[in-house]
Structures are given as C-alpha cells and as structure tokens.
Chain A
Amino acid sequence: MVQVRNVTKRYDSVEALKGVSVRFPRGVTALVGPNASGKTTLLKCILGLVLPQEGEIRVMGEPVTGHPEIRRHIGYMPQMVQFPESLTVEEILDWVQDIRGQRVKVEPWIQWLQLEAFLDKPFGTLSGGTRQKVGMVVALMFDPPILILDEPTAGLDPLSNALFKERIQEEKARGKTIVLTSHIISELETLADRVVFLLEGRVVFEGSRDDLLDHTGETSMERAVARLMAGANGGNGE
C-alpha cells in the first residue's frame, strides 16, 4: 500500500533519512527506533509534509509529490494534536468534514471515546488526553484504508487506551494498512504484525515480528528491540 524507495532527506547539516527503502503492506507495522532515528521524518515524507531530496514514495500506486488527493486515503494522527484554540470539538469535526468535502456520521465516534461532554468546549480548554482523543477521531472517522499514527497512546487514560487497541485490531481485521510508532514497545507487541527498525536514518530491520524474535534470539519484542538498539549503541560504549 505504501512504498518508500531510496528516500534521502537532509536538513541543513543533518541527514535524517539516508536512502530509506521500505514497504508498508496491509496489517499493522510498528515503526520503531531510538529518538532522532528518523521515524517522524519518514512518516512526514509519506504524508507530503516533508519533501525528500531524493527517492520516491508511492501510496496506493500514486506518487505522493504533487498529488494532495492521495491523502484522502490516509488517516493521520500526529504526536502533538493541535487545532485552533477557539474552535469547539464539534466545529473541529465539522472543519475536517468540510475540508475533505466528505460528510460522515460522527455520533458513533463521539460515543466511542465519550466525547459528548466536550462537544461545545473550545479546543484550547481541553486536557492533553482529550486532545489526543479528538485527534484519534479525526484520523479514523473517514474510514481511510491507511492509518498513520505517531505515538497515538501518549497521554491516554487506561480505558481509552484499551478502546483504542481494540479498535486497531478491528481495523486490521478489516484489511487496513496501519503504521504505528510508540516509545513503549510493549504497547506494539500485541498489535504489530511487522516491525521496521530505523537507526540513524537507515532501515536496520524490516520483517515480521517472528522474524525479529528469530533474528535477535529474544522472546519478546521489547527485548528484541532493546538488543537491536544495544547492538547499535555498543560501538559508542553506552
């Protein structure tokens, strides 16, 4: 569904992605790696937010650059969900429908994360967790075939967290392509079929969860990833 070929992205002096080639097929892929490994940059490249110097990215067969319509197939949830402070939750949901030119039933989504009480509250007054929930609804409500979720569970309360994971399982079952990042690897363990490990702008590992366990000889994904990181950092004496 999403194909990344030889993508290189340089910021002024830093090379964030160094010829990354990776594929995100149907199912849940966990994109992992230490801080500043290029995870967010890669996701932003897919979304067209960051423009790579080299390489090509295709979503459902179409190149990303110059095709904003591609994003109709993507639901995205950023690390920091921000909407204009003065808009209420109801207006935000109205906004995204208006921008997409696509009307959907919002009530089920509101009930799902118990947002009823916040419908008439301006976004600026909401707590961090509630903001995340709004971002989640905006990403999911149009039922896009591709979901890109950057640290989706940060700040969620346990109940919402459980609801969210349940939802992801459902979406996976419906054949969607889901890309997840998270600091908490154990979170991904139950969800991810595949793992892409990024390190200093390079793909170090790409394969199924079982491949990863085999590759590292560990029994859990968390420990497998820890081992990969340790191996990478070993040379630095850390």
Chain B
Amino acid sequence: MTSGFAEFLLRRIVGFAGVLLVLALMIFILARVVPGDPARIALGPTASAEQLAELREEMGLDDPLPLQFVNFLGGAIRGDFGNSLISGRPVAEEIAGLLPATLELVLATLIIMLALGLPLGILAARYRNSWFDAVLRIVSLAGVTMPSFLFAILLQLGAAYYLTDWPILGRMSREFSDFSGATGLLIIDGLLAGRLDITLDALRHLAFPALALSMSGIGQIMRITRSAMIEHQRRDHVQTLRSFGVPGRIVTFRYLLKLSAIAPLTIMGLEFASLIGNAFVVEMVFSWGGFASAGLEAVMQKDLNAVMAVVLVSGCFFVVANLLIDILIGLIDPRLRMKEAR
C-alpha cells in the first residue's frame, strides 16, 4: 500500500478521534447539565444529606465542570467509566461481559447483509426490468420500510406456529448454560472446545435475530448494488472489455463487481449507525442479553454512568467499522489510494 493511502488513513483516524471527542462532550453535557443528581439516583430517595454529600465528593460531582469533563475523558480513555449507579459494580466490567454477545450478533448480521444483498443486487441488475427485478425491488423496499422489531416479532410468531422446536429466545439452550469459553463468541468457543453441538445450538439461536437485524441492510445494499452495476455497465472500459469478446460472466464478476462494491460498502458504513440502534430493539425482542439490551436497561433506570459508557462504546463501534470499511475500499479501489496521495 502506498504512503499516500497511509496518510489518508491517518487523516481519517484523526477525524474519527474528533468525532468521539465531540460525542463525549455532548453526552457529558447532557448528563451533567440537565437536572437530576447522579448521587441521588444511586442512593435512592431515603438517603440522608450527609450520605449524598459523601458520594458527591467521591464521584467528584462538586468539582468545576471542565475538570469533571477532563477526568471523565481520562477515565474513558483508560476504559474506566466509574461505577454503575444501580449495581455499584464498575461499568466497564459489566459492559465487557456483554460485548461478545452483541459482537456476535452484529458480525453475523454484516455477513448476512453482504452475502444476500450483493448477489441479489447483481442479479437484479442483470435481469433488469424483468419480473424478477420487480419482485426483488419489492423485497428490498419491504426490508427498508418494515421496522426491525416487527420483523423480529414476525419471525418469532412464525416459529411459534410452524417451527415449534426452533429456539426464539436467548443465545443458547439451557443445557449448555454452564459452558463458557475464552472469546465469549459462542460459535467460536464451541469450535475451539471441539463442541460442535454447542456451535450448532448457538447458530440456531443466532439465525433469527441476525436475520431480523439484517433485513434493512439487505434492502439498502441490494438497491445500491443494482444501480451501481447498471451505471458501470455503460462505462467505456466495460464496453471495451465486451467488444474484445470477454465473456459476460467474467466481465460481471472480475471487473464490474469490484467497481460496484464500493458504493454499497460506503453505505454500509453509514448504515452502521442505524444497525447499532436496531440492535437494541432486536436484542430486546429476543432476550439476547447483550450490550444493547443492557444499555436500554441503564436508560430506564437512569444509570447515568452506564448510559455515558454505552453511548461512547456505540460511537467507537461506529468509528471502527467505518475505518475498516475505508481500508477495504482502499484495497478495492486503486484510484482512491492514488488520489489521496496528492
């Protein structure tokens, strides 16, 4: 990879750091300036004035706001978000325990989105304006317009009536509940431990939540891939290949696909923000017990420290995903590597 691309990535990293900084500032202002005393939330309505003062002192709530922000930021960088106002345990510890569940769900979703969205988009472009294209257009529109919680519920409902032994709640069956592995990703842990039954069980549990979560992304990717393929088909270099007698299949898969993958990848980066949001809902419907459902609980109980951590970690998710996508696009598209070198 050229040094120009390295410079481009460096600039993106600095930009993303800026994003996280502003996000931290916003959530801090929201949490501190808006009425509601964190110490009061932690201790409940029966606490005495001395107890409150003591906890406020301990949490640094009486410091000037800029100092509080610096302390909060310093802690966040070290991965220290203070203690949960409800359980009293370190927030970082609680989140770390729940992160693998969400990671597994999100990764599976991304794989499904690409594995279905790209090929269907290619097919739609290839058989453009046929009945097949029309059906796919309706499917993709349904994916984009139907709320993900409705998809999740419909899948559960379908299973309840027609697939009665298919699991619709949780991450694995109760008989395996004492199993735990190094990575926390059950599918991988099952393989590492040589327990194929566990991997299979985890996959069965994962299928519906991941499908429900990926529907809107499948629709988006399908649409974008279709229009990108159609647009690139008209370009001169593709026409040249065709006139040289290169078979259509090779033109499509070796040349067109590479070019047309850039737009959907870019969209995926932006989509990632709503993916995280929808994960909250899908995790709730399927009792997934991940980071997102924990965040929801924190919001309901007004656990400010946990909410701040959840928002920042979600932001990190988004930033890292977009960075990876930038790298991927750079690998696919040499023009970007060259252009950014300037």
Q: Tell me, yes or no, whether A binds B.
A: no
